[in-house]
Amino acid sequence: MLLIGLTGSIATGKSTVSSLLASPPYSLPIIDADLLARQVVEPGTASYRAIVSYFGPSTPDLLVPASPPEMPEHGPTGKGRPLNRPALGRRVFGSDPQVRKDRAALNGIVHPAVRRAMFYAAARAYLAGHRAVVLDVPLLFESALDRFCGTVMVVAVRDPEVQMARLMARDAHLSREDAENRVRSQGDVRVKARRCEARGGKGRGVVVWNDGGREELAGEVRRAMEEVERASPRWWGWAMLACPPAAVVVGLWTFWQNVRINRRWAEAEREERAKL
C-alpha cells in the first residue's frame, strides 16, 4: 500500500487538498493527524492525564470552565473537563525558549499516542483493500513520519502574506500576534517544499503550489497525482495487496531509501549553515 504523506504549514491548504484527494476521481482514505491528536487527549486518556499533570499547576485556565448543567465540574463523561485548547495553544505556540520547552513537552506526550493511532488506522486501510492512503500530518518531517511514506506531498504558498491572510480569515478569533506565533511555530513552508523536491523524482516528492484560486489548486493536485500514479501505477498497488510479504519487503526498502534521503538533506543543511 502506498503511503502518501501530506504536509505543509498552518493554513497553506492541507485540509483543502485532503478533501480533494478524498473525493472522486481519487477517493483515497485520509488519516488525519490533527483529528487523532484531538482524540488522544480526550478526558480519561493517558495523554489527557499527562497534560493536566504537566501544565495544570501553571495554567489556571487549562480546562474549559465549569458551568453546570452544560459543563459539569467533572466534565460531561465524569472523566474531567475537556482541555481549553486556545489556552494550551498560548502556552506552546511561539519562539520563546520556555514556550519551546513546553511545546516539546506537549509533543512528547501527544506524538507517540498519535503515531500509534496512525499505525492502527493504516493497518485497517490495508486490510480493507486500499492500494493507497493519505497521511495528513502537519508535522510530517518534524516527527520523522516521512520515513514511512512512498510519496511526500507538500502543500505550499510562495507568498507568506497569502498564508497569514488565509489564517486570519479562517480563524477570526486569532489576533495578528497569535497568528504570527502559530505560523512561526511551524517550519517555513518554502523550506519544506525544497526538502520535498530534494527527495528526487519518481514521485517521491511532489509540491502542490497554492497561491492561486481553488480551480488552480485542483489543477495542481491533478498534476501531482499524475506524477504519483506514473511512479506507482495501479497494478503495482494491487500486486502489493495480493502479496503481503512483498509489501513488507517494499516497505522496508522504502524506509531505508527515506533514511538515506534524510541523511543527504541533513548534510546539505549543515553545509549550507557552514557557508553562512
Ligand X SMILES: Nc1ncnc2c1ncn2[C@@H]1O[C@H](COP(=O)(O)OP(=O)(O)OP(=O)(O)O)[C@@H](O)[C@H]1O
Ligand Y SMILES: CC(C)(COP(=O)(O)OP(=O)(O)OC[C@H]1O[C@@H](n2cnc3c(N)ncnc32)[C@H](O)[C@@H]1O)[C@@H](O)C(=O)NCCC(=O)NCCS
By CB under 6 A, residue 163 contacts ligand Y: no
By CB under 6 A, residue 187 contacts ligand Y: no
Query: Among ligand X, ligand Y, none, what binds residue 217 when CB lies within 5 to 8 Å by partner kind?
Result: ligand X
Count of CB atoms situated within 10 Å of the CB of 81: 20
Residues 116 and 118: their CA atoms lie apart, in Å, by: 5
Contact between 22 and 152 under an 8 Å Cβ cutoff? The reply is no
Among 1, 4, 6, 10, binds ligand Y (CB under 6 A): 10
By CB under 6 A, residue 101 contacts ligand Y: no
16, exposed or middle or buried, with CB in 10 Å at 0-12, 13-18, 19+? Answer: middle
Among 16, 45, 84, 107, binds ligand X (CB under 6 A): 16
Closer to ligand X at the Cβ: 221 or 240? 221
User: Taking the complex as a whole, how short is the minimal distance between the CB of residue 166 and ligand X, in angstroms?
Assistant: 4
Among 68, 213, 242, 276, binds ligand X (CB under 6 A): 213
By CB under 6 A, residue 8 contacts ligand X: yes
By CB under 6 A, residue 138 contacts ligand Y: yes
Among 116, 124, 202, 214, binds ligand X (CB under 6 A): 214
User: Taking the complex as a whole, how short is the minimal distance between the CB of residue 90 and ligand Y, in angstroms?
Assistant: 9
Query: Among ligand X, ligand Y, none, what binds residue 84 when CB lies within 5 to 8 Å by partner kind?
Result: none
Query: Among ligand Y, ligand X, none, what binds residue 170 when CB lies within 5 to 8 Å by partner kind?
Result: ligand X
User: Taking the complex as a whole, how short is the minimal distance between the CB of residue 247 and ligand Y, in angstroms?
Assistant: 26
CB within 8 Å of 187: residues ≥ 6 apart: 9, 141, 142
Among 10, 40, 132, 207, binds ligand X (CB under 6 A): 10
User: Taking the complex as a whole, how short is the minimal distance between the CB of residue 111 and ligand Y, in angstroms?
Assistant: 6
Residue with the CB atom nearest ligand Y in the bound state? 138
Positions in 215-254 near ligand X (CB under 6 A):
217
Residues 9 and 179: their CA atoms lie apart, in Å, by: 12
Q: For cell 522496508, what's the residue?
A: 252
Contact positions toward ligand Y, by CB under 6 A? 10, 33-34, 37, 85-86, 88-89, 92, 103, 106-107, 110, 114, 138-139, 182, 185-186
Contact positions toward ligand X, by CB under 6 A? 8, 10-16, 138, 166, 170, 210, 213-214, 217
